[in-house]
Amino acid sequence: MPDLLTHALAAYTLAVGLSVRYQWLTPPYVTVAMMGAFIPDLTKIRLLVPSWQLEAWLGLPFDWGALHTVGGTLVSVLIGVAVVRRTDRRRVFGPLAVGASSHLVLDSLLAFPAGRMKFVLWPLTTYRPVFDGLFLSTDRWPVVVAAGLAASACYLRYYRGSPDA
């Protein structure tokens, strides 16, 4: 699953980069950002519990695919914030949102046969721009690039960075 690792490494790189500016963004919060990168892929739960089955149980219209949109991701981030201690909620929101947003941005760069961008902008818009994409989810080179960037960020921040780090 190269795309899942790519999402985690991209969130790590962003969070480590932000930790230079925000001193409170310590390694545990960097991990929270990496966890946030997995939020949109919660749609994979549909492999265990299909949308139609959950719809029948709830008696309400339901689709796991909504979790892979801006609106569904925001709701999921807010749920994640609600389950932590009250004193940590503000600091958990930022890294979770950064990780989830990086996932959506990377997924919007995927190439699809239809030649249109993935449907991620709901509820802001239902428009899917024409975009050929930069890579496939099965390509190996994005994970190599992400690993290189993550290693560079780690080296620059923790090994070559400020002495107080």
Domain boundaries, the chain: 2-159
Residue-by-residue pLDDT tens, the chain, 165 positions:
458 999 999 999 999 999 999 999 999 999 999 999 999 999 999 999 999 999 999 999 988 988 899 999 999 999 999 999 999 999 999 999 999 999 999 998 888 888 888 777 778 778 888 888 888 888 899 999 999 999 999 999 888 765 554
- Show the tokens assigned to 33: 């950002």
Distance CA 7, CA 11 (A): 6
Distance CA 147, CA 126 (A): 33
Distance CA 6, CA 4 (A): 5
Burial letters 123-152, b for 16+ CB under 10 A, else e: eeeeebeeeebebebeeeebbeebeebbee
pTM for the model stands at 0.89
H helices within 22-88, ranges in order? Answer: 27-36, 51-58, 70-82
